A and B are shown apart, each in its own frame.
Chain A
Amino acid sequence: MEHQAFIQAFFKSLKGFLFNLPLLVSVILLTGLFEVFITPQMLSSLFSGNAFLDTLTGTIVGGASVGQPFVSYLIGGELLDDGLSFYAVTAFILSWVTLGIVQLPYEYSLFGARFTLTRNLLAFIFALLIAIATVQSLVWFK
Chain B
Amino acid sequence: MKKTSRKNRKPKIGGQILFPVVSLIYLLLYNSAPEKTLEALNKSLSILTHLLPVFITVIVIMGLITALLQVKKMGGLLGKQSGIKGWSIAIIGGILSHGSALIWYQMLADLRDHKVRDSLIVTFLYTRAIKLPWLPLMISYFGFTFTLLLTVYIIIGAIIQGIIVDKMSSGKHL
Which residues of A pack against B, CB within 8 Å? Answer: 2-3, 5-10, 12-14, 16-17, 20-33, 35-37, 69-70, 73-74, 76-77, 90, 93-94, 97-98, 100, 103, 105-115, 118-119, 122-123, 126, 129-130, 133-134, 137-138, 141-142
Which of A5, A13, A126, A137 has the largest number of chain B CB atoms within 10 A? A13
Set of chain A residues within 8 Å of B45, measured between Cβ atoms: 32
Set of chain B residues within 8 Å of A14, measured between Cβ atoms: 59
CB contacts between A and B, total, < 8 Å: 205
B102, CB-defined interface residue at 8 Å: yes
Check if A29 sits within 8 Å of B44, measured CB to CB.
yes
Check if B59 sits within 8 Å of A25, measured CB to CB.
no
Q: A22-B14, A73-B141, A119-B125 are in contact. Are A130 and B150 (CB under 8 A)?
A: yes
- Bound Cα distance from A22 to B23, whole angstroms: 11
Q: What is the predominant secondary structure among interface residues of chain A facing chain B?
A: helix
B36, CB-defined interface residue at 8 Å: yes
Q: Report the count of interface residues on B (CB-CB < 8 A).
A: 78
Interchain CB contact (< 8 A) of B60 among A3, A10, A70: A10
Check if B109 sits within 8 Å of A37, measured CB to CB.
no
Check if B44 sits within 8 Å of A28, measured CB to CB.
yes
Q: How far is the CB of B58 from chain A (nearest CB, A)?
A: 8
0/1 interface trace, chain B 111-134, chain A, CB 8 Å (1 if under)? 010000010011001101101001
Check if A17 sits within 8 Å of B59, measured CB to CB.
yes
